[in-house]
Every structure is written in structure tokens, then in C-alpha cells.
Amino acid sequence: MPQQVQGVIAPGKNEPVRVETIIVPDPGPGEAVVKVQACGVCHTDLHYKQGGINDDFPFLLGHEAAGVVESVGEGVTDVEPGDFVILNWRAVCGRCRACLRGRPWYCFDTHNARQKMTLEDGTELSPALGIGAFAEKTLVAAGQCTKVDPVASPAVAGLLGCGVMAGIGAAINTGQVGRGDSVAVIGCGGVGDAAVVGARLAGAARIIAVDIDDRKLATAKKMGATHTVNSASTDPVEAIRELTGGFGADVVIEAVGRPETYEQAFYARDLAGTVVLVGVPTPEMKIELPLLDVFGRGGALKSSWYGDCLPSRDFPMLIDLHQQGRIDLGAFVTETIGLGDVEKAFARMHEGDVLRSVVRF
């Protein structure tokens, strides 16, 4: 029997979000219905509401979530009812050319639930990133459910489903930060701070946090940055070079997604160093660089999709490290809020004093 639950939808471009009754179908083959316990508010949800992703309104927002599997459809064997899971937005297919080459974190054919969740009048909803978890229950592809140790708090676990995984993965997976490396992180919001945490976990000797907001730098320091640079008042390229013996950092992680910060990252890295772009640019942004510098400085210019994570490998590991006290994912949860508070959480995002607001059910 399809179920009626409460969920947060974005009805149209720039219209305020609202809580509506959502119809959740029973899971079909390869699908699962998850009882959501917590879901973080991410910039991408705001971008959906603003029409910045696509025009497929109405959206069912929310995608950084954890919960318990309620029911599964035919053929689902990886998860079962009662499992505590983190939802991921890149369910690996196992058959595309990336998967076949043994690089499933790049999977080019990730999948979502086939059936649609709807409003009471039958209007089909577009779930944010194929998840839609600002809802008491949501329908996803079973591969989007990654089972983890249920001792973790849902608010903490859910954050691994997007921004925190993107940042940690940018450092440990994409950037391949190693013991003793120097790392600079440009932009210290939730994603950049997670990159700081990842760099520390990987054994970086020097972690330089760069931001234009002193409050963000103070938080980055608590997360493990060894040095901070306010790039509103100091040239970050010079500052990073000074802090690295005049050379530049081994790995520079760009967690803003703008041409000027990318250029800073490009020049703030040592010869043969690595730049990791994890901030997401907008379509009109362009970058111009002397091609000779691209050649002459060598190394690697990489992008990090979702932290190049493999949910089944990385989520359980990071939950275990959190439980052991080796990373503090709780530090990313600034506040817990109700389903009706998502619009307010979007407003707080702009004030810059929140890493993550998390809806608790």
C-alpha cells in the first residue's frame, strides 16, 4: 500500500519551500523505502529551490540523510528491513565502462528508484539528487542505501551522505594526501572543513586553511588546521608559499568553486603538486591560465566528484573512525531543526554561522 508522509517540497523557482503530504509507493524491484531519521540542509537543496540545477519542479528536497530500511522490493539482497543506512546519491551500476575498469567511484551510470513519489493529486516529484529525504519516508534504489554501524547518531551519519564525504574524500581519495604532506584548503565551509579533517586523518604535517571570514578560520582551526590565512586581507598564494618553505603546498583543495580561488589553488601548490577542485562552479564561469604554467608546474589538476567516494567502502570506515574518536563528525552539526524549519535554515546559511543544520525526525 502506498503511504502518506510529510515532506518538504520546492514548488517553483524561488518560491518558499513548504511541508506537503507525499505519497510514497511500495518498493518495486531493486528499490527500498527508508524511514528517514535525520537529513542535513545542503547548498544543493537551496540551488534546486532557486532553479539553479534544473527546472523539474516540484522538487522533494533533502539528500544528506540516514535512516532505517523499512521495506525492500524484489531482488534486493544487500540491505534488509531494520538496517541502519546512510543514503548515497551515486549508486554504482557495476556494468559501465568506469565500473568495468575497476574504478566504480567514477561510475558513469549511477541509478535511482524507478517509481516516482507524488503529491496527493498525483503530481510527480523530482527528488533532490535522486533521494528526497526531507520526508518521513523516502523511496530510493536499494544501491543508494549503505549499511553502517547503528551506534552512530543519525544526524552525524547522514552528513556523510554528501558534503562531509565530499570534503574528506577530496583529501584522502582524490588528493591522495599522505603522511607528512603540506595541504592548503581554500574555502572553509562544511566541505572545506571536512577536507581539513580528511587531511589530518591522512597524516598531513601542515594544514593551511584559507577563507575570507575569520569565523570560518576559527572553526577550521578547531577541525585541525595548523595555520590560517584570511585571503580578504592577505595574498593567499604568497602566504601559503611562505608557510611551506617558499615552495607551495603538496596538495591544494579548492572548496569554493570560483575561478579566482581556482587560480589561487593553481599557483599555491608546489611543483608537481596536486590541485583538487571540489567546489562546484556555475555554468558561466571561465578560467584562463598560461598553458606554459600548466605544463611547467607539472603535477595533477583533478576534480573530485562526491569525494571520489565508494559509499560501500568509505561510509562504514568513516563511521568506525568517528566511533573510535579519530575524527569528530559531530562538530559539523551546528543545530538540529524540525521539518518546518528548512526555509529558515536556508536563510541561516547566508549568515555564515552554520556548518550544517540537520532536520531530525
Residue 174 interacting with ligand APR (CB under 6 A):
no
Choose from ligand APR, Zn ion, none: what does 192 bind? Cβ within 5-8 Å by kind. ligand APR
Q: Which of 10, 229 has the CB closer to Zn ion? A: 10
The C-alpha cell 524507478 sits at 114
Backbone φ, ψ for residue 330 (5° rounding):
-60, -25
Residue 189 interacting with ligand APR (CB under 6 A):
yes
The DSSP string of 167-183 is: HHHIIIIIS---TT-EE
Report the residue from 158, 163, 248, 273 that binds ligand APR according to the rule CB under 6 A.
163
Contact call for residues 114 and 130 (beta carbons, < 8 A): no
Q: How far apart are CA 80 and CA 6, in angstroms?
A: 24
The DSSP string of 240-285 is: HHHTTTTS-EEEEEE-S--HHHHHHHHHHEEEEEEEEE-SPP-TT-
**Closest listed residue to residue 160, CA positions, set 243, 3, 42:** 42
Residue 90 interacting with ligand APR (CB under 6 A):
no
Q: At its nearest, how many Å lie between ligand APR and the CB of residue 120?
A: 32
Backbone φ, ψ for residue 241 (5° rounding):
-60, -45
**Only segment of 82-90, 137-145, 174-182, 207-215 that touches ligand APR (CB under 6 A):** 207-215
Backbone φ, ψ for residue 148 (5° rounding):
-135, 170
Choose from Zn ion, ligand APR, none: what does 96 bind? Cβ within 5-8 Å by kind. Zn ion
Cell of 211: 577563507
Report the residue from 86, 172, 186, 199 that binds ligand APR according to the rule CB under 6 A.
186
Q: At its nearest, how many Å lie between ligand APR and the CB of residue 219?
A: 9
Choose from Zn ion, ligand APR, none: what does 211 bind? Cβ within 5-8 Å by kind. ligand APR
Choose from ligand APR, Zn ion, none: what does 41 bind? Cβ within 5-8 Å by kind. none
Cβ-count burial 72-101 (b if 16+ within 10 Å, e if not) = bbeebeebeeebbbbbbbbbbbeebebbee
Give residue 166's Cα distance to chain centre.
4
Restricted to residues 309-338, the positions that interact with Zn ion (CB under 5 A) are none
Residue 99 interacting with Zn ion (CB under 5 A):
yes
**180 burial level (CB within 10 Å; 0-12, 13-18, 19+):** exposed
Choose from ligand APR, Zn ion, none: what does 311 bind? Cβ within 5-8 Å by kind. none
Instruction: Kindly report the number of other CB atoms within 10 A of residue 225's CB atom.
Output: 29
DSSP 3-state of 81: coil
Restricted to residues 243-262, the positions that interact with ligand APR (CB under 6 A) are 255-258, 260-261
Q: At its nearest, how many Å lie between ligand APR and the CB of residue 108?
A: 20
Radius of gyration of the chain (CA): 20
With contacts defined by CB under 6 A, how many residues of the chain interact with ligand APR?
25
Report the residue from 166, 229, 240, 268 that binds ligand APR according to the rule CB under 6 A.
166
Q: At its nearest, how many Å lie between ligand APR and the CB of residue 325?
A: 24
Contact call for residues 328 and 322 (beta carbons, < 8 A): yes
Q: At its nearest, how many Å lie between ligand APR and the CB of residue 76?
A: 30
Residue 162 interacting with Zn ion (CB under 5 A):
yes
Q: Which of 23, 256 has the CB closer to Zn ion? A: 256
Residue 96 interacting with Zn ion (CB under 5 A):
yes
Report the residue from 9, 33, 38, 42 that binds Zn ion according to the rule CB under 5 A.
42
Contact call for residues 294 and 322 (beta carbons, < 8 A): no
Report the residue from 107, 141, 183, 202 that binds Zn ion according to the rule CB under 5 A.
107
Binding site for ligand APR (CB under 6 A): 43, 163, 166, 186-192, 210-213, 216, 231, 255-258, 260-261, 278-280
Binding site for Zn ion (CB under 5 A): 42, 44, 93, 96, 99, 107, 109, 162
